[in-house]
Amino acid sequence: MILGHIGARKGSKGVPGKNFRPICGKPLIDWSLDQLFAHPAVGAVVVSTDDPDIYAHAVARGALDIGLRPAELATDTAPKWGVWQHALAAAEALAGPAHAFLDLDCTSPLRIPADITGALDLFRTEAPDMVMSVCEARKNPYFNLVEPDATGALHVSKELPGGVWARQDAPVVYEHVGVVYVVAPDYLRRAKTIYEGRVIPYVLPSDRCHDIDTPYDFRLVEFLLQQQLDEGVVKV
């Protein structure tokens, strides 16, 4: 069974109530819930939340009834990994063993169904501990990311002998984005952090990798999501 998961904490300092806030015709979380319920490879769906309204909404739609997230996993400092571990254990107790844990961040609604299928295909063919969505970084620490030294003078964050003077000559670096993750359940159970095992990238175009963290992000993603709707890329 592939277990689909969405984490949707109630609190948000940047955009209060963002996970249940309407965007382009439905609550933000439903853009991800709809994709999980519609995907033919997903056998069960679980939503981890401390919000009674989000929880009731998800269960009414068919998500597993695992109860609200424990208080210690509902703070803004609670690690994603611990939330995943709890959700996996609670879901397997109801639905049986999972052979893949598929997580979609509900704050990344610009993904398309092919992004989920592609990540699952990569997980199946490469058999890593984890597939993580990434996009090529907009700024590069070898070229145009700088930081001050003890005197306040700026230096390139990661210097190479001779320097890097053109962006295309810099080593490729990626941004970790929350569009889609696929995790081996055994790895999720035993590891303490994401990067202990073999974590491989699933590279996506940057235009589908915007995450909602601020009011500006919300407006930008709303604009791009409406554009997807107008072009028929996604449907409400």
Residue 76 Cα distances to 50, 58, 72, 79, 112, angstroms? 12, 21, 10, 8, 28
Residue-wise burial string across 58-75, b where 16 or more C-beta atoms lie within 10 A, e elsewhere: beeeebbebeebeeebbe
pLDDT of residue 154: 95
More confident call, 99 vs 72: 99
In the chain, pLDDT over 90 holds for what percent of residues?
A: 82
Q: Over the stretch 166-199, which tens digit does the pLDDT of each residue have?
A: 878 889 999 999 999 999 999 999 999 999 999 9
Q: Over the stretch 203-230, which tens digit does the pLDDT of each residue have?
A: 999 999 999 999 999 999 999 999 999 9
Rounded to an integer, what distance in angstroms lies between the CA atom of residue 14 and that of residue 10? Answer: 12
Q: Over the stretch 104-162, which tens digit does the pLDDT of each residue have?
A: 999 999 999 999 999 999 999 999 999 999 999 989 999 889 999 999 999 999 988 88
Q: What is the pTM of this model?
A: 0.92
Residue-wise burial string across 98-109, b where 16 or more C-beta atoms lie within 10 A, e elsewhere: bebbbbbbbbbb
Residue-range domains of the chain with CATH: 2-137+173-230 (3.90.550.10)
Closest CA to 175 of 210, 221, 124, 134: 134
Closest CA to 5 of 71, 69, 75, 78: 69
Q: Over the stretch 116-132, which tens digit does the pLDDT of each residue have?
A: 999 999 999 999 999 99
**Which of the four pLDDT bands, split at 50, 70 and 90, describes residue 73?**
confident
